[in-house]
Structure 1
Amino acid sequence: METSSELAREVPIVSARYARMLIRFLEKRGVRCQSLLAKTGIAGSTLENPDAWLSMNQTIEILRQTDWLMTDERAAFEFGQQLDLPSHGLLGFAVLGQQHPRRLVGMIVQYLRVGLPLMDMELESSGSTFRIKLVDTWGVGDLQPCLSKIYMGSIHRISCQVCSHFRFQFNFPSALPVDEWQLLAPGCDFEFNAAETEVTMPLKEAPAPNRNDNLQFLMARTQHQRVRGRPSANETLAQVRDLIMSQPGRPCTTENIARRLDISARTLRQHLASANTSFRALRNEIRENFATLYLQDTNVPLESIADKLGFSDQAGFTKAYRSWTGKTPGEVRRDHRE
């Protein structure tokens, strides 16, 4: 009799577009598509279907063949670097990243946690520095190095416009010297045989020269507030948004957020009231945005989305989403695919 864990591995959860991109990447390196799919049981017609989804078991088989066929241990990281915002279906976040660099990292992590659920990610921030740790929740075993490099390569590609000096740490060895890895990510640090697989990356001190007046104003305002040393209500509002977006689930409460900001819950409520909002309103706004993104751009089951967003069950999620939008999650998903 199959266990619930075994059944979960057969549920279609990963968009086939990732497999298509991986095949194109390997074909440029002389690997034939037939060789990659030989032992996976996946038909080429499935990958040609723009709406196709793969199960965890199918994805693992593709990655196993990929890991065996790759001759350069850096190739997985390099493939990850090709997974930019449009590749993940996140082109709309490019504008967000230009105008609100602090929010980009949190939103991307939250989306990938559900949209590409091969590994989980834990996001922490301290000041202007972010730390993302990868967590193997599926027990992928010997494929963990391959997956970790893909994720880290993509995180580097997505975040390099707003973050600087990446420090990559991997909990497995490498036969290559560090300078060989730095050819893929100049100016970055690489460490192997570390205790955890994680990346640390601070926001850039100044925006890239893209003539974006909104971004210049944002950075100037942030610098002014840092010099004054007295956080305003608007600054607290931005910090609260960042923290909610990094983890909108059950641990996201007024008390927990206040503790992370080193203020009392009462002071937090006063700051948010001064900014004409509340913790509940902020959290619901972010939950609604994430929920709509997942419903339209992923095939993740509703109960999984509900759990990730902090609801105790699917019914509670459906009731809340209908109160926000006037539609049920199922209606939004069906309407988007018609």
Structure 2
Amino acid sequence: METSDQLALEVPIISARYARRLIHFMERRGVKRQAILAHAELPDAILENPDASISMAQVTSLLDRTEWLMTDERAPFQFGQELDLLSHGLLGFAVLGQENPRQLISMIVQYLRVGLPLMDMELSSSGTTFQIRLVDTWALGPLRPCLTKIYMGSIQRIAAQVCSHFEIQFDFGTALEPHAWMALASNCEFRFNAPVSQITMPLAGRPVQGDNAGLQFLLARNRNPAEERPRQADETVMQVRELIMSQPGRPCTTENVSRRLGMSTRTLRQHLASAGTSFRELRNSIREDFATLYLRDTNVSLESIAEKLGFSNQAGFTKAYRAWTGTTPGDVRRQSRKGE
């Protein structure tokens, strides 16, 4: 893999829990841990630390090794299928709190971008059909098919809560017959040598809440106290939240959102007011959720977080976050490092 910024490869960017789960997956397939870690550049101290993060260089060394040891080209997709909601940490808690299918799909994309930033994703929709296209931003080279399969398997597993059928396209080939891939998921149609790698899924209904739905820590739950709203107002709030989540930075303004919804800013404000909220409240709630996720589950710098969320500088972000939560971003990050 080649990149113009070699330093970026050494920055810890994802939780080591993904490495641990991959090693356990391989061990269940009869591959010894020592064989996996022989050339993976992952010391035991990192793997045994529940709060540790690993760099892109360590990710690629581990994937290089495990892919070489895999005897089935479907194994990466199967590993992805094992990455259910709670496997993604804060993503799981956030998605468990969503009762709207459209919000759930949008959440999957936004939180995977933060918690597992090894590939980017482009979300688009037409009616009730959604498409997620994977984008290689790290110049992964030979490892791209392996990582693509992992992402597709996990997206399929999570989105199965609200989608009953999937069309999965890969921009690379396969040596297996179609029925071999169909055996992984009867509700999936697999296509290879496609122009792009993407997953298409029509919504089938509402998420099925599990026993863990009552967890108190649901990061992305809409905290507005008005639980019962008129359907039209609730739909407007949902659409605005979805647009804000897709682009929470500086371009996310009342004017831009109202234009994308095909209404005037005055009409948008009236709809939100009738729902008991405002654009500012919705945007700040989402900004707070994303900021907390970045602070607790990533090593992204405070300056970068501020920029991603639309603040002109770190000081402005710190002031806003303290107003939202009563604590500072630095305090949240320090507490997370102590395992609190």
TM-score range for the pair, normalised by the shorter chain length = 0.7 to 0.9
Structure 1: give runs of 5+ residues left out of the alignment.
212-229
Residue 93 (1) aligns with residue 89 (2): no
C-alpha separation in 2, matches of 1:310 and 1:170: 34
C-alpha separation in 2, matches of 1:38 and 1:49: 19
| Distance 1:207-1:134 versus aligned 2 partners, 3 A rule | closer
| Distance 1:144-1:323 versus aligned 2 partners, 3 A rule | same
Correspondence for 1:14: 14
Correspondence for 2:232: 232
Structure 2: give runs of 5+ residues left out of the alignment.
212-229
| Distance 1:72-1:250 versus aligned 2 partners, 3 A rule | farther
How many equivalent pairs are there? 318
Deviation, 1:85, is: 1.1
Deviation, 1:302, is: 2.3
Task: Tell me, yes or no, if the aligned pair for 1:110 and 1:246 is still in contact at 8 Å.
Answer: yes
How much is the aligned-residue C-alpha RMSD, in angstroms?
Answer: 2.4
Correspondence for 2:219: none
Residue 46 (1) aligns with residue 46 (2): yes
When the two structures are superposed, what TM-score results if normalisation uses the length of structure 1?
0.86
1:168-213, Cα deviation, whole Å (9 max, x unpaired) = 11111112222211111212111111111111112114665989xx
When the two structures are superposed, what TM-score results if normalisation uses the length of structure 2?
0.86
**1:1-338 → structure 2 map (5 Å cutoff):** 5-90=5-90, 91-93=92-94, 95-97=96-98, 99-205=99-205, 232-338=232-338
Deviation, 1:305, is: 2.6
Q: Secondary structure at the match of 1:250?
A: coil
C-alpha separation in 2, matches of 1:324 and 1:210: 30
1:197-232, Cα deviation, whole Å (9 max, x unpaired) = 111112114665989xxxxxxxxxxxxxxxxxx982
Task: Tell me, yes or no, if the aligned pair for 2:100 and 2:207 is still in contact at 8 Å.
Answer: no
| Distance 1:189-1:46 versus aligned 2 partners, 3 A rule | same
Aligned-residue sequence identity (percent) comes to 65
Amino acid at match of 2:94: F
Amino acid at match of 1:155: I
Correspondence for 2:222: none
C-alpha separation in 2, matches of 1:311 and 1:125: 28
Amino acid at match of 1:95: L
Q: Secondary structure at the match of 1:232?
A: helix
1:241-260, Cα deviation, whole Å (9 max, x unpaired) = 12222332333232332233
C-alpha separation in 2, matches of 1:256 and 1:190: 37
